[in-house]
Amino acid sequence: MSETNVVKTVCGYCGTGCGLILEVENNRIMKIRGDKDAPVNKGQTCVKGAFAYEYVHAKNRLTAPLIRKAGELVETTWEEAYQFIVEKLTSIKTNFGAKSISLFACARSTNESNYVTQKFMRTAIGSNNIDGCNRT
Ligand code: SF4
């Protein structure tokens, strides 16, 4: 008989940040319900938060970064992926200036992630060109 573990978490589907309770068996999510103690949603969820969790176990989910090489997306390491990003951004900034770079932040990220994102753009890149669909 498998043991059911209960995991408290925050829904990542949108910026509302509803508290969720996951029922997990054998490292698989079996059911999700709203967290009655969460101040945002008080136990309620929308249909996505309650039912759209199958993607977590999808077989075709990406598990490694990809870089396009000779027209094909090829799995790579995080080290190579970050190095590739650094080289591309540095080249664009050097050749076209910092303001040629913009970033579209994610409404599904936490406030903290979006804060770090805008900080990265303003301090590391030197551009104020940042936006996100979470302001609409
Ligand atoms: S349950 Fe629905 S409303 Fe709440 S955070 Fe998730 S997607 Fe947003």
Q: In the prediction, which pLDDT does 136 show?
A: 55
Q: In the prediction, which pLDDT does 84 show?
A: 97
Domains of the chain by residue range: 4-57, 66-135
pTM, two decimal places? 0.66
Q: In the prediction, which pLDDT does 66 show?
A: 97
Our answer on whether the CB atom of 16 is closer than 6 Å to any ligand 1 atom is yes
Hey, which of 9, 46, 56, 133 would you mutate to test ligand 1's pocket, going by the most ligand atoms within 8 Å of its Cβ? 46
Q: In the prediction, which pLDDT does 14 show?
A: 80
Our answer on whether the CB atom of 11 is closer than 6 Å to any ligand 1 atom is yes
* Residue ranges for the chain with pLDDT beneath 50: none
Q: In the prediction, which pLDDT does 1 show?
A: 59
Q: How far is the C-alpha of 72 from the C-alpha of 60, rounded, in Å?
A: 17
User: SS3 of 6, please?
Assistant: strand
Q: In the prediction, which pLDDT does 36 show?
A: 98
Q: In the prediction, which pLDDT does 103 show?
A: 94
The beta strand positions in 35-101, using DSSP E, are 66-69, 72-75
DSSP designation for 14? S
Q: How far is the C-alpha of 39 from the C-alpha of 15, rounded, in Å?
A: 14
Could you count the other beta carbons within 10 Å of the beta carbon of residue 25? 13
4-57 classified as CATH 2.20.25.90: yes
